[in-house]
Amino acid sequence: MVKPTKLTNSLRDLRTERGITQADLAMQLGVTRQTVIAIELGKYSPSLEVAFQIARILDVTLEDVFHYPA
């Protein structure tokens, strides 16, 4: 069983505010829609490269998207 990550995110809110679907984001990232869903649900932590790509696509900082507890 995969242990959920402590990393949380605002991906769903930021994505929907911009009118980007999960499928559109997945295509831009070169991943599956299921991967985007898993990231949004906190079941999967993206690679650093994908995390930066997400922030760039959404035109926000990495810290605006992803949050790690202190």
Query: Tens digit of pLDDT for each residue in 2-57?
Result: 665 688 999 999 999 999 999 999 999 999 999 999 999 999 999 999 999 999 99
Tokens of 70: 């202190």
Query: Any bridge partners for residue 8, and if so which?
Result: 67
pTM confidence score: 0.89
What does 16-68 look like in DSSP terms, one character per residue?
HHTT--HHHHHHHHTS-HHHHHHHHTTS-PPPHHHHHHHHHHHTS-HHHHEE-
Whole-number pLDDT of residue 38: 96
Of 6 and 66, the structure prediction assigns the larger pLDDT to 66
